[in-house]
Amino acid sequence: MGIRPSFSRFQIAPNIIRQLLFISVLLILGIVILKELYFMVGAFLGAITLYVILMYPMKYLTIYKRWPAWIAALCLMLASLIVMVIPIIYLVSVAIEKLQPIIENPSIINEKFNDVHQFLFTNYNIDILKAENVSKISGQIVPMAQKTLGGTFSSLGNIFLMYLVLYFMLVQTRQLERWLRKNLPFKTANVKKIIIDVRNLVFSNALGIPIVAVIQGLVGTLGYWIFGVNEYILMGILTAISSVIPIVGTLAIYLPLSIYLFVTGSTYSAIGVCLWGFIVIGSVDNIARFLVQKKLADVHPLITLLGVFMGINLFGFIGVIFGPLMLSLFFILSKIYIDEFGKADANNPHIPKTE
């Protein structure tokens, strides 16, 4: 008589099956919810950013000044709207108004490149900006600008949603912090590290980047006005925006502008803009970054560069802030994961090391 094989050891416990079914339902619901509410991602990230900035003033007003939570939240939201959001909206609207004709009619860009090409070829026999190269450049710039403007319009439409989420986060600050400390699946030390690092990153990206950008934009605008640039306000705004790009930075604006002014016969303006850019804007950049970054988190330039491109692609103009923040947060969580689960116990490599 043969021996009947036993399959008992291959059986899955009913509790495991219930957990897998439950997780599957959660994942399906989560995917559906995320798909339908994807348009709110920018608003949600904006709410988190403002919450981190306003969290301590909120605690001060509610704990030390004994203000009702809803009054403190509304006052802080109004202050953030006046100080941060409205100026950004105004600057973006000015840039959009100036750039919209160029985006809608890319031939304007081609004409400017052709002017530079003719000058370089005629005077110096340099044939870099020939027609096919110009079409490639404009073919890269225009779609990115269109996506940036489209994402910006979407972000502006989400401001109401952002402040709605922010209101509930501020009013329920204590409950939110207790929930995070209780439910984050990490050691207490790592939970504190996440909170501190995220706060530093938010301040560095949401305050540090705009502060440096505004300073460079104002200095650039002043120089462009002094040396007779027609669209000096637009050039100042573009200088501020380009300041977030590591290594190249504002050079991407004032150097091509100097070349164009030189090509079109404005020799003294070209020399003045070029010297102003290298000496004044460059010096202000170094000083401002040193003073700001000394107080805030030091984000690696490569993370900033990749984050800016990723953020613009996802959220439009406002992604200049959110992109580096998301990428930095990814690396922070990766380090925390390695600290939590990557260090194996010396006696058993399959058992995570515990404190």
Query: pLDDT per residue over 204-255, tens digit each?
Result: 777 777 888 888 889 999 999 999 888 888 888 888 878 877 667 788 888 8
DSSP 225-260: HHTT-TTHHHHHHHHHHHTTSTTTTTHHHHHHHHHH
Any idea how long the chain is?
Answer: 355
Structure tokens of 36?
């339908």
3-state class percentages of the chain: helix first, strand second, coil last, to nearest 5: 80, 0, 15
* Residue 84: count of CB within 10 angstroms of its CB: 16
Q: Which of 18-27, 128-137, 171-180, 256-265 has the lowest mean pLDDT?
A: 128-137
For 306-311, which contacts have Cβ atoms below 8 Å and span 24 or more sequence positions? 308/244, 308/245
Domain boundaries, the chain: 41-183, 202-336
65 or 37, greater pLDDT? 65
Q: In this predicted model, what pLDDT tens digit does every residue of 165-190 receive, in sequence order?
A: 889 988 888 888 778 777 777 777 77
Average pLDDT over residues 5-22: 70
pLDDT digits (tens, 9 = 90+) for 276-322: 998 998 888 777 777 776 666 666 777 777 887 787 777 766 677 77
Structure pTM?
0.68
For residue 346, what pLDDT is reported?
Answer: 44
Q: What torsion do the CA atoms of 103, 107, 109, 111 make, to the nearest 10 degrees?
A: -160
Question: Is 355 a residue whose pLDDT tops 50?
Answer: no
pLDDT given at position 201: 78
Listed residue (304, 329, 309) closest to 193, CA to CA:
329
